[in-house]
Structure 1
Amino acid sequence: MPDTPPHPYAAAPTDEVDLVLLGGDIGIYALARAFHEKYGTISTVVTRKVAGPVADSSILRTVELGPAASEEEMIRALLTVGAEKASRPGAVRPVLLANADFLVALLAEHREELGAYFHLPLLGDEVLRDVADKATFSQTCTAIGVPTPRTVVLDFAHGTAPAVPELDLGWPLVAKASRSSAYNAVSFPGKRKVFEIADRAQLTDLVGRLTAAGYRDRFVLQEMIPGDDTAMLSVTAYVDSRGTVTLLGGAQVLLEEHTPGALGNPAAMFTTDLPEVFDQSVRFLEHTGYRGYANFDVKIDPRDGVAKFFEVNPRIGRNNYYMTAAGANVAEPVVADLVEERELPRAVPRQEILYSIVPWRLLRRYIIDPDLRARVREIGRRRTVHPLSYEVEGWRRRLYVLAATANQIKKFLQHYPRPSADGF
């Protein structure tokens, strides 16, 4: 299915909006694309490695630090970029964004230094600590009546293997790090973003590997919510500095990535209205004093039809281009909030579009429900978007997008050769 961009050409460049991005994945390019479509911005991307998603692009400039660059070197590079931009005649203060939990945490740690040069749409330290922690997230949801899976927490803070209590979650269960920023610091054989644990023996083994790797944070055990990838929902929001939700939209996931390091990232989804889930998302954001971008992971429980909230990412999310493509450009709320300092009516995407980084012949294999498959095919015929497929880019980018899309077939056949009842 072809990618039909929302505008025949990007917006005329403006000197009023500038953007600096830390990272280099699909989500970073999607942010650069949103700013380019809306404001004609040529973004600056600071990254350890200039990989395919941000390589050979005409809408951004890259600062490559090298794969071994430390967090301190990242901050120094950002400060250098900020100082250089500030020294130019007529300079404007850039917006600084990251799109990985550990990088958001890094920016927050250095908010005072970075704030001298950049607009920082970040949560306060206490709110960031609480909402980025899956264990605390579950407790907060329960307290305000937002449905969430039953959860048990294991604490590795003391450096010894925690005792595993008797569990009433059923088998298999799901296990994941409470904070991905802490999990990112350890490495061990078989490391995955999310684990499906079949029995107590597997859980004990995982606890041993985490302890040996030096993990010093909490790990969350949750009941397995039945249903394949098509039961997942994604909600994206922005909360301005006054506490008003000025961006809110969602999508039904059709297929998630299944490589160990990217498990759970949506690979295909279509935009849809989710009024009850939106209301619950706003309740959470307002209750916690949230600020900036948020991305919720939610799953419909087929046993009772209730949408269960899994987590909120304190960033816009890797799959954020579905919002821009559907008519709610994700650049506008942060610019209105921090650059223009004006109130913005809530932007909600109104177009029904298919967002996909996989070819249709692969996607249709994983949509088991024939009615859903027919609906998605019709949506895709009207409008299919790939975040990296942007008409203003040159032939090198186009070749990369073709190759990356084709490579998805190999990855899915290796890691998820056929759809399963629980998405694992």
Structure 2
Amino acid sequence: MADQPATSTASGTSPAPAPEVDLVLLGGDIGIYALARAFHEQYGTVATVVTRKVAGPVGDSRILRTVELGMSAGEPEMLDALLRVGAEKSAARREGAPKPILLANADFLVLLLAQNRERLGEHFLLPLLADETLEAVADKASFTELCTEIGVPTPRTVVLDFTAGTAPEVPELDLGWPVVAKPSRSSAYTHVSFPGKRKVFEMHTRAQLEELVAKLAAAGFRDRFVVQEMVGGDDTAMRSVTAYVDSRGEVTLLGGAHVLLEEHTPGALGNPAAMVTTDLGEVLERSVRFLQHTGYRGYANFDVKVDPRDGVAKFFEVNPRIGRNNQYMTSAGANVAVPAVADLIEHRSLERMAPSREVLYSIVPWALLRRYLVEPELREWVNRVRKQCTVHPLAYRVEGPKRRAYVAAAKANQVKKFLQHYPRPTADGF
């Protein structure tokens, strides 16, 4: 069955009268387009996308208009552009109409919005965490501490602190080898550049880890890095959770997916490339416990992995944004635009929304995905769901032939990337 839009079926949503909804998005990736698509499906909104470059995911689209800043634009230029767009919309907005909702879908861009919430709040509605909460949950080291406080399992973790401006001493590790090393805050890592930079590192020896520490210090990294025990299992051991917490602290959107395949290019490692919506049971319950414990607000996206040693689902991180792969929720019957609009524009309570059907979310061709599903029962389940409903976030029926050609080319390019970076499944997903 081809990708079809799914209207939210959660009780508490009222399709008529439709609220007046405007949307501004900062960024230009697949996740940004999926957000624009969700708002367009539900409310007919034509979003304004502010981005450095109008690339494939947001190019030649009928559901959004773009403001291109140029690749040299930094955060001050982005802020200026948002304020300019906001002022234009404020001047044109009719009396009594709500402000536009402003969203970003990258950690450093969410931080930019939070740091300028007062100025941006003059023109926009901002579903953002409080500063202290954002600082705590977006840091993988403090995330681990918060999870420990409420009994949510996480991998064993050691923190390496670069804030003094020098390379920290690598302590004796009792995590086993290999270990996983990654920045504690991706927003602090975004602007650091060095040869061999990756989103996540697999370290097989102490010498490798010490070499990485030296590279980070030489590159001017001034934050924290976490070193964690390796949780085995390939990409199919991963789980994804998407949620929204409204202004009253109620979790009004909650759903999850069984990840099947992640991207493996250095800069995108860990981004889901394919997954199936499913009820994650206790994983969802623990996600709610974390959100309520921390006083969370707005969108959240958890990365979780089931440890094959004990079957325990271990929480890796929470992204303070909806996540690149948010289309799986909308296509499964829980349109991600609805809770934000109910909260920020309609100011009404909403019964918790959840996916109502199984869908296969995939940005890769089935022939490629199938080769990474080595477990027969899993492959059969996914194939059955695939035939019922397969969704690609960029394959939206209202778009024209240029978009359809781009989606086909993007799928072909995924084949090339996987053959280069991850030609066959491995036991640990690296």
Instruction: Give TM-score scaled by structure 1 length.
Output: 0.98
**Amino acid of the structure 1 residue aligned with 2:396:** Y
Counterparts of 2:266 and 2:416 in 1: how far apart (Å)?
14
Q: Does 2:9 correspond to 1:3?
A: no
Q: Is the 8 A contact 1:5 1:385 kept in 2?
A: no
SS in 1 for 2:92: coil
Cα distance in structure 2, aligned partners of 1:88 and 1:167: 59
Is 1:241 aligned with 2:242?
Answer: no
Deviations 1:221-256 (CA, angstroms, capped at 9, x unpaired): 000001000000000000000000000000000000
Partner of 1:27 in structure 2? Answer: 31
Q: How far is the alpha carbon of 1:416 from its aligned partner?
A: 0.3
* 1:285 corresponds to 2:291: yes
- The number of residue pairs the alignment matches comes to 421
Q: Does residue 291 of structure 2 align to residue 276 of structure 1?
A: no
Mapped to 2, the partners of 1:169 and 1:392 lie a distance apart of 51
SS at match of 2:181: strand
Question: CA separation in 2, counterparts of 1:29 and 1:3?
Answer: 15
- 1:127-151 CA-to-partner distances (Å, cap 9, x unmatched) read 0000000000001111110000000
Equivalent residue runs for 1:31-180 within 5 Å: 31-90=35-94, 91-180=97-186
Check if 1:204 corresponds to 2:210: yes
1:380-418 superposed Cα distances (whole Å, 9 cap, x missing partner): 000000000000000000000000011100000000000
Q: CA deviation at 1:25?
A: 0.1
SS of 2:21's equivalent in the other structure is coil
Counterpart in the other structure of 1:362:
368
Aligned position for 1:373: 379
Match of residue 300, structure 2, among 294, 302, 323: 294
Aligned to 1:410: 416
Q: Which amino acid aligns with 1:42?
A: V
- Determine helix, strand or coil for the equivalent of 2:396: coil
Amino acid across the alignment from 2:83? L
- Kept after mapping to 2: 8 A contact 1:14/1:41: no
RMSD of the alignment, in Å?
1.3
User: Secondary structure of the equivalent of 1:105?
Assistant: helix
Q: Which segments of 5 or more consecutive residues in structure 1 lack a partner in the other structure?
A: none
Pairwise CA distance, 1:12: 11
What is the letter of the counterpart of residue 261 of structure 2? Answer: L
Larger RCO of the pair (alpha carbons < 8 Å, separation 6+): 2
User: 3-state SS of the aligned residue for 2:383?
Assistant: helix
Q: Residue in 1 aligned with 2:257?
A: 251
Change (3 A) 1:260 1:136: same
Indicate the larger mover: 346-355 or 11-20: 11-20
After superposition, the C-alpha distances for 1:25-58 in whole angstroms (9 at most, x for unaligned) are: 0000000000000000000000000000000000
Alignment partner, residue 225 of structure 1: 231
Q: Distance in 2 between matches of 1:300 and 1:314?
A: 22
Question: Is the Cα contact below 8 Å between 2:238 and 2:259 reproduced in 1?
Answer: yes
| Residue 347 of structure 1, aligned match among 353, 371, 375 | 353
Provide the TM-score with structure 2 as the length reference. Answer: 0.96
Please say if residues 13 and 39 of structure 1, whose CA atoms lie closer than 8 Å, have aligned partners that are also in contact: no
Say whether the 8 Å CA contact 1:14–1:40 is kept in structure 2: no
Structure 2: give runs of 5+ residues left out of the alignment: 8-14
Is the counterpart of residue 304 in structure 1 residue 310 in structure 2?
A: yes
Q: CA offsets, 1:343-377, max 9 Å, x none?
A: 01000111000000000000001010011001100
Percent identity between the two aligned chains: 74
Does residue 215 of the first structure (1) align with residue 225 of the second (2)? no
Deviation, structure 1 residue 70: 1.3
2:273 equivalent to 1:262: no
Is 1:389 aligned to 2:395, yes or no? Answer: yes
Deviations 1:52-99 (A, max 9, x none): 000000000000000000101101100111111111151530000000
- Matched to 1:36, the amino acid is H
**Structure-2 separation of matches of 1:89 and 1:257:** 41
